[in-house]
Amino acid sequence: MALTGFRDFYPDDCAFRNAIFAKWRDVAHRYGFVEYDGPPLEPLDLFTKKSGQEIVTQLYNFKDKGDRDVALRPEMTPTLARLVTARHRDFKKPLKWFSIPQVYRYERPQKGRGREHYQFNCDIIGEAGLEADIELIALVIDTLRAFGLVEKDFVVRLSDRQFWTDFMNAKSVPEDQRYAFIQAIDKSEREPREKTAEKLGPLAAEVFAILDDAASAKSERLDTVEAGLKYRGLQDYVKRDYTVVRGLAYYTGVVFEVFDRSGESRAIAGGGRYDTLLKNLGDVDLPALGFGMGDMVLGDLLKEKKWSPKDLMTLKAYFVVADEAFRPQAMALAQELRYFFSVEYPFSPSKVGKQFQTAEERGCDVAIVIDQQINEGVVEVKVLATREQSKVKTGVDLMENLSKLELNKHHREAGLPEA
Ligand code: HAM
């Protein structure tokens, strides 16, 4: 049994996970992002310095055999900051980087929450203007739209950490109480009002007025971001909401969290601007922003919506070895076809009918029957869905025949007429 909070991925689960990853990569590429990665194990202080108290209490940390304090990464952002600050001169700004790390947090496992998850991270580094914030939010929206989700399904709750920093400045909230203040707002939705009021003290009434009526509080940054999203036709996907401040310590500007409209699950994604993290970590003054989207909450939502990963688009062929005497020729042909198509065959002799049955069970598109005709360079190709059967010459003819079947598979998938 896997450890509590950790998942096994049987082939179906892997197919589902990989289909999610494929979509993530596809959308990131369409926005011009390039992929990077880092080690799952990092020096402990990378996270204790920067991630904020909540994540630190959830760390998987230990001493390694060299007596070093290490931790499994609970998030990717400090690693990204480390990578960028170490070699920032090598890259043209702004950087648009993405990654799909597995991350580890010692949380209490429940629906949508485990002790490991995969997290799609997209970050823009070296751009201070709000155009980058708009682009990033458009990207998070388009990522979810790529799975067929629409504005009825999810909402991006937009907020501004700087708004609260300005508020704390105006009210002279002492430096050492600011993190607790932000945390109280972050938790305010999940806690009874009295409890939040206790934490906020004399500022409670004023804070609640803002939380209850977002329109009453001004943020030029959010006005600009909302206008930018409107130009792109994405206004129905966002809602201003000052309760969102993000639990992590490093955010400085526009922040957001994405929720399922039914409001039942935890956030699908979260992120925002963190303009001072690279300076604090590596003494490199570069503005930055990004988001993380977990595979668990998204996966649950997609399962609810009955989204299923698309079948392998490569044509799948099954070799029916009707006469064992010709197995060597069958193998030679199978090897050749595997440059282009997926090919399977029975490992041991079995009845022809049984082989056809296996072909169906394996989800193959065609059966290629091998018998003595192979000596004349001919095979029988049977399309399993239609039962159509034809004799085809091996070589160019067979290649063309199978390529056409594959093309039609794509056409059917895209709802286009057959070629
Ligand atoms: P985060 O809000 O801590 O942000 O996590 C991002 C997403 O990861 C969450 O919205 C949720 O879907 C998923 N997630 C977090 N913890 C768990 C868990 N225990 N089990 C399942 N899913 C989980 C960050 O980690 C930031 N580093 C994101 C970021 C990137 N900010 C800037 N760049």
Q: Evaluate: CB of 123 within 6 angstroms of ligand 1.
A: yes
Mean pLDDT of 282-293: 96
| Higher pLDDT among residues 417 and 376, named by residue | 376
256 has pLDDT over 90? yes
Mean pLDDT of 273-291: 94
Strand partners, 294: 119
Residue 17's identity, in one-letter code, is R
How do beta strands 116-125 and 95-99 pair?
A: antiparallel
Residues 171-183: pLDDT tens digits?
A: 999 999 988 898 8
**DSSP run (H or E) holding 309:** none
Kindly report the three-state secondary structure assignment for every residue of 100-141.
Answer: CCEEECCCCCECCECCEEEEEEEEEECCCCHHHHHHHHHHHH
Tell me how far the alpha carbon of residue 168 is from its chain's centroid: 35
Residue 384 near residue 376, CB atoms below 8 Å: no
Q: Evaluate: CB of 126 within 6 angstroms of ligand 1.
A: no
Supply the pLDDT for residue 312. Answer: 61
Residues 310-363: pLDDT tens digits?
A: 656 789 999 999 999 999 999 999 999 998 999 999 999 999 999 999 999 999
Cα(377) to centroid(ligand 1), Å: 57
Cα(292) to centroid(ligand 1), Å: 5
Whole-prediction pTM? 0.88
Supply the pLDDT for residue 216. Answer: 84
Residue owning the nearest CA to atom 26 of ligand 1: 292
Supply the pLDDT for residue 266. Answer: 87
Q: What gap in Å lies between CA 58 and CA 80, rounded to an integer?
A: 20
Q: Which residues contact 239 (CB under 8 A, 6 or more apart)?
A: 155, 156, 157, 158, 214
**Using 50, 70 and 90 to split pLDDT, how confident is the model at 73?**
very high
**Using 50, 70 and 90 to split pLDDT, how confident is the model at 414?**
confident
146 DSSP assignment: T
Q: Which residues contact 56 (CB under 8 A, 6 or more apart)?
A: 47, 48
Q: Evaluate: CB of 77 within 6 angstroms of ligand 1.
A: yes
264 has pLDDT over 80? no
Mean pLDDT of 306-312: 74
| Residue owning tokens 């002279």 | 172
Supply the pLDDT for residue 190. Answer: 85
Q: Evaluate: CB of 121 within 6 angstroms of ligand 1.
A: yes
Question: Of ligand 1's atoms, which has the minimum distance to the CA of residue 274?
Answer: 32
Q: Which residues contact 358 (CB under 8 A, 6 or more apart)?
A: 318, 346, 350
Q: Which among 4, 98, 119 is the best mutation to test ligand 1's pocket, defined by most ligand atoms within 8 Å of the CB?
A: 119
Residue owning the nearest CA to atom 24 of ligand 1: 292
Mean pLDDT of 29-49: 94
Cα(75) to centroid(ligand 1), Å: 7
Q: What gap in Å lies between CA 250 and CA 289, rounded to an integer?
A: 10
Q: Evaluate: CB of 267 within 6 angstroms of ligand 1.
A: yes
**Using 50, 70 and 90 to split pLDDT, how confident is the model at 281?**
confident
Q: What gap in Å lies between CA 24 and CA 410, rounded to an integer?
A: 21
What's the Cα-to-Cα distance from 117 to each of 35, 49, 257, 286, 297, rounded to whole Å?
18, 22, 17, 28, 10
Cα(31) to centroid(ligand 1), Å: 21
Q: Evaluate: CB of 228 within 6 angstroms of ligand 1.
A: no
**Using 50, 70 and 90 to split pLDDT, how confident is the model at 84?**
very high
Domains of the chain: 11-304 (3.30.930.10), 316-414 (3.40.50.800)
Supply the pLDDT for residue 189. Answer: 85
395-413 CB burial, b ≥16 within 10 A, e <16: eeebbebbeebbebbeeee
| Higher pLDDT among residues 418 and 401, named by residue | 401
**DSSP run (H or E) holding 258:** strand 254-260
Supply the pLDDT for residue 56. Answer: 79
Residue 173's identity, in one-letter code, is V
Mean pLDDT of 102-115: 95
Supply the pLDDT for residue 311. Answer: 59
Residues 221-248: pLDDT tens digits?
A: 999 999 999 999 999 999 999 999 887 7
Q: Which among 46, 59, 75 is the best mutation to test ligand 1's pocket, defined by most ligand atoms within 8 Å of the CB?
A: 75
- Ramachandran class of 187: left when φ > 0, alpha when ψ lies in -120 to 50, beta otherwise: alpha
385 has pLDDT over 90? yes
Residues 142-155: pLDDT tens digits?
A: 999 999 999 999 99
Q: What gap in Å lies between CA 293 and CA 100, rounded to an integer?
A: 9
